[in-house]
Structure formats: C-alpha cells, structure tokens
A = this chain, B = another copy of it.
Amino acid sequence: VTDRPLAAVVVVGSEILEDGRFDTNGPFIEKSLGLAGFRPILRLVVGDDREAIAFAVREASARASIVVVSGGLGPTFDDLSREGTADALGTTLARSPELESALRERLRRRGMTPPESVYRMADVVPGAEILANSVGAAPGLLVKGPPSIALVPGVPAEMEAMLLSEVLPRLQALHPGAPSLRRIFKIAGLYESEVEGLLSPAMPRWGDLGRTILASPGEITFILRGDPGDGERLESARADVLRILGGAIYSESDEGLECAVGRLLASSSMTLATAESCTGGMLGGMITSVPGSSSYYLGGAISYADDVKGRLLDVPAETIARHGAVSAETAAAMALGALERTGADLSLAVTGVAGPGGGSAAKPVGLVHLALGRPSGAIGRELRLTGDRGMVRLRACRAALDLLRREVFGSRREERA
C-alpha cells in the first residue's frame, strides 16, 4: 500500500528491559515519524551495552533508510550510544573542540564544575551534524547516510523538542516522502466487536485501505489509512463510517471523550458538576485534565462513604437504606444534590461496585448506576461492566461522559454526520 521511506527506532536503556518500565519514547518517535511521512517498521530495545547498541543500529540500518536512536547520550559511563553507533558504522569517535567549548561555557554559566568525563558528550561520529538540545545539555547527532541515523537524548522532554525541531525537518529534506493519509474516528458506547460487526458489511468497498480498531476501556479508536492517491476512496469510506456509526462517533481527531465533551460544554456555556462514589474523584480528575476546564466545570462531591452522600449531597438516609448506595435512586439523588449544592446547569453522578470486594448476587462487581442531573430532573443508566477495579472505574467515567454527550448534545452530532 505504500512507498513511504522506511524508518526504524532504537531505544537504549537497561531500566526499560530490566525493571518493567514503560518506554514512551519509542511510541512518540514512531508516531511522529508516521505523521512526517515515513513508515516505522521496526523498534529495537536494548540495554546500556555498547555491543548491543551496535547490533541494533546495524540491524536497523539494514532494514530502514531512516534510523532514530533514543537514549545513551548523557555524560556517564553507561551512556554508550555514540560509541555503539560508531562501531556499527565501522568508524571511531572524534572530539569536537567547538562542542566541547560550548559545553564548558554552558556549565560555567550555571556555576557547575563537573568531572572532565562529562565532555564525552562532545565526542561525535565523524561527518555527523550536531543537533542543538534546547532543553538539556546532551547534544544530538545526525549522520547523513544513507541511511540517515539520528541520535537523540532519552529524557522525554529533550527528545521531543529535538525530534520535532531538529530531526524531522532535516529528515524530510533528505528523504522527500509523501505523507500518508489517515482518518481517525473516536467511538464511545459500543464494544469493539460491535464496531467491527457494524462496519464489516461496508469493508469490501474500501479495497486495500489500511484499517485498525483499537479498544481501550469505554473508548474505541478506528483508523483508516491510505496512500496519497487514495484521497477519494478514503473520503467515501469515511462517509460509510459516519453513516453507520453515527452518534457513537464523538470525535474525528485523536482526543479523549473528556476533551470532546469539554468543547461541547464550553461552546454551549453550560456548567457541570459531579457526584462520585465508586470512581472517588476520577471523573472530576479526568474532566479537569483538560486545560481551560474551569470555564465549564464547577466541582462537586466525592461521596465515598454513605454518610457523606447525605452530608455533602443531601441524599436522604432513607433512600440509601431502602434502595442501597448502589441504586438508580441513590444515583439520581446524588445528581440532583450536586446540582443544587453547586448551582451548575448539569451534573453527573456515579455509584457502583468497583471490586474486587463488595459484590453480591443482587449487586455484583461491575454494577454501576449513572445519573445525569438537569433542572428538569435526573436521567439514569444502569451498566454491567467487566474488567478489574481500574477498568470498571475507567469505563464508568467514560460512560458518564458519554451519557452527558448523547443526552444533552445528541442532536449536535447528527447535524455534523
């Protein structure tokens, strides 16, 4: 489907292999390369080991015309990406006097007198271009191949700044490849298998367009991909997806439900409050992760203990005694209490059994009651969610946001589709 230049990523760091830490650099670099018009085909993760780095750079170079090496550029003894890359290229490092004096000047200005070994950072692969680090001390390197090999730091903020402003523009100039076309659909309120089942009758019409379904608890991402000549086919496939999935699509860009719902609230000048039991503040935390959320989110109560449901939300003790803390009645009372107490236009309430303990035959783990509060009253929804405690809570938060989106802004989406 593609003739984009192939790219490979080498991630260096023993802590990634030995301690189960997540590497976020590999995914960031690959996504950025993809958006810049290249096609990532391989990632190698190796430890702080000169021979292993050399192996990885050699293998990456043999299979891709662009190689990005992340990590191992610092001053300490276990920073070996410069040496490993030189080994892979069959050359030896040379000290750059300009770089060394720039580093001396930088450290002097900061009042630091580090050991001389720090100037290892001025050793360069002969002929490589030096890349500025706008965030930290370690410079990057670009070997203009073929293949092109870029060495960037492992500290995420340094890597990101250098990749976007120094590396990608140079790679795009060296390897003119057409950017690939991509359409993204973010979907809430359907399971992965439902999305697949609904779309499958249309798929034969799409030919060899690339397609991916990615499921996260309560949120599905569907991606269509084509080459530059596929524009028309991609638009017709997009029309199929919009028609079939309709209001289940909450966005056509790669954003969370909390961003899309926040935008709807901001543009309608309505305010929101929350009342949370089993999610314990997670819903509020998710809503306020969006910059600018103070323009529509007022706050609310975390009524984890039953007594606090009365104290902060005026849920009658009798409602809880009769129907239980996890019930449609309690959810509705929480939603209306939050509305009343905060003065918001809308409210969302969540109460449920997140597990692993606390379930019963009548109210099993995964049972969640949501309520959307409006001045005219509360609308409830009962959910039976699967997964562990973290997944039940995450699904519950997203289902609450989706309830608000569909009930309050449902028509908005239909207009667009």
Given A17-B30, A212-B18, A312-B312 in contact, is the A305-B294 Cβ separation under 8 Å? yes
The reply to whether B299 and A284 form a contact with Cβ atoms under 8 Å apart is no
Q: Is A198 an interface residue (CB 8 A)?
A: no
The reply to whether B55 and A46 form a contact with Cβ atoms under 8 Å apart is no
Within A271-285, the residues touching B (CB, 8 Å) are 273-274, 276-285
The reply to whether B281 and A288 form a contact with Cβ atoms under 8 Å apart is yes
Q: Is A154 an interface residue (CB 8 A)?
A: no
Main secondary structure of the interface of A (DSSP, over half): mixed
Residues of B within 8 A of A356 (CB): 291
In the complex, residue of chain B having the shortest beta-carbon distance to the beta carbon of A305: B298
In the complex, residue of chain B having the shortest beta-carbon distance to the beta carbon of A18: B34
Within A254-293, the residues touching B (CB, 8 Å) are 273-274, 276-289, 291-293
> Which of A19, A34, A277 gathers the greatest number of chain B CB atoms within 10 Å?
A19
The reply to whether B19 and A311 form a contact with Cβ atoms under 8 Å apart is no
Q: Is A147 an interface residue (CB 8 A)?
A: no
- Select which of B15, B212, B280, B343 is within 8 A of A293 by beta carbon: B280
In the complex, residue of chain B having the shortest beta-carbon distance to the beta carbon of A63: B55
A residues whose Cβ falls under 8 Å from a Cβ of B? 14-24, 26-28, 30-31, 34, 39-47, 49, 52, 55-56, 59, 63, 210, 212, 214, 221, 223, 225, 273-274, 276-289, 291-294, 297-305, 307-308, 311-312, 341-343, 355-358, 389-390, 393
Listed from nearest, the 3 A-B pairs whose CB atoms lie closest are A281-B284, A280-B288, A20-B31
